Structures are given as structure tokens and as C-alpha cells.
Amino acid sequence: MKNWITGVDIGGTHITVCLVNQEEGCLMENTLVRQTVNPNESAEEIIAGWASAVRNCWKIAGLSQARIGIAMPGPFDYENGISLIKGLCKYDALFELPVKAILAQELGLTIAEIRMVNDATAYLRGEVAMGSGKGADKVLGITLGTGLGSALYRNGKFEDGDLYCYPFLDDLAEEYFSTRWFLNKYREKTGHVLKGVKELAEKSEMEATALECFVEFGENMAALIRSRYASEIPTTIVIGGNIAKAAHLFFPAVQRKLGPEYKIKTAVLGEIAALIGATYLWESQQNDVVG
């Protein structure tokens, strides 16, 4: 079992854990554990929940413990394992805490047995290796959900993205490319409150106002990409995350505004991409990831 690494994907409202063979890039599927997370709980409750999911995965596999690779949203000091997340409606309680050290203690591991990487970078790495980015020389990866994640692949290297904190219109980009933007925009237009993007997507089939939200979202995304990357826009753009499930509603607007020379693709591996990407942290050579 020495080739099996514990892959962990931490999102704004969930944690997914699975044992991954980092040499073969495959999952031990029966070990996959997915649990919901309340990102507004105390630090103790959040980390206890994460540890519970990891231990459940190990128990299924018949292991007492195993090395861990974690795909974690930013901003975050990944090398030292310290959270820098604040004011993003998630994990405020972890701000400036040594998350890696606390989790290691909770699981009975040493700090050296846990490695962490930006979740969007891990996601893109999985998609470049086995998904929609395979074979492309330069790829922009974007993840859309409770927040905005991004990463770049070029010259054989992966780079953490900065779209979430990039100035856009009258705020930071994350405020325009997240679940809360959709819900706020629809409420502004109609006065009605929705539970999530899925409900809005369902309404778009019969309601023009709902569809207008997705078109505006797509046009904004194209404008953001052009502003941030200017003449160096990667010709392959892979978009994932829960909001990408409604890709058919906003991809046409992105494509129209960017032009036909760009390939706009939906990520195909889902959270498996981040699980695989996070375990690559345990390769003997790690100089292909840059900050």
C-alpha cells in the first residue's frame, strides 16, 4: 500500500477524501468519503470534521494512517500550512492558524506527512493529466462555486492563479464569479430569493430574467480573462466547479466575447481531478509547481 496517498479536496461546503495511487493516477474507489462542512463553524469543529472524513477513508481501506495531499482554497500559505482566508464567507475561524499542524496532531501524523496545494492548481493538474486539458501546451483552469479559483499550465509548469483577488469592475473578481453573485443579481432583478445556482438554472428554461443572469455572467467572465491575461490568453480554457454544471447557459457568451480561436471546455473529472492533483505533491520531483 506504499504507493497509496490520501487525496483530500476541501471546498467551501464539503470535504472529499479518497486513497489515490499517485504513480498510476487511479483511485481506490470504495474508499471515497464525502462529507458536508459548515465553513462558518469554529476552528475546532471545522478541523475535527476534516479529520473525521480522513479517518473514515482510512478505516474503509484498513489503514491506521497514510500520507496526505490536500487541495485547499486560498489565500493560504501552503508550504507552512497557515490559513490566510478572511472575509470570503468561509473558514474565517481558521485565519492565521497553523492548520496543517493542528490537523496533523488531530490525525496522529507529523507535519511532514501532510502537504498542501491550491485547490484550483490541483484541479487543473488532474485535468491536464487525464481530462479536458490533456495534450494542450497552455491551459487556463477556472473553478466556480462558493468562490473563484484559477491556475495556469504553461511551459510544463503549474502556477497558482490570482483571479479571485484581481480587481474587476467596482470590486474584486470573486464577488462577480461565485454563487452569491448569481443569487444577489437575481434578487436585484426580481426581488426573489433563491437557494442556489441549480434553482436559477432550472428557472432559465422558461424565464428570461434568469437566463439574463447567466449571459451577463459569461460576458463578465470573458472581460475578466481579457483584462487579466491580455494578449497571453491560453487558447484552452477549462472551467469546472458546481457552477460549471450550468455551462450551456453561459459558455456561449464567453465564447462569443473571446472569439472562435479559444477552446472553452468543461472539466470532465469533477472533484477526482483535485484528489489526483493533490497527491502529485508526493512525487520525488516537485519543481513543476511554482507559486
The pTM of the full predicted model, rounded to 2 decimals, is: 0.83
Domains, the chain:
4-119 (3.30.420.40), 132-268 (3.30.420.40)
Which residues does the chain have with pLDDT short of 50?
Answer: 284-291
- The predicted pLDDT at position 289 comes to 41
Residues with Cβ within 8 Å of residue 201, at least 6 apart in sequence = 210, 214, 245, 246, 249
Give all strands (DSSP E) within 39-121, no chain letters.
68-72, 76-77, 82-83, 114-118
> What Cα–Cα distance (Å) separates residue 131 from each residue in 137, 181, 224, 240, 270?
14, 28, 24, 11, 10
pLDDT, tens digit, for every residue of 35-44? 999 999 999 9
- The predicted pLDDT at position 283 comes to 74
- The predicted pLDDT at position 270 comes to 84
- The predicted pLDDT at position 190 comes to 97
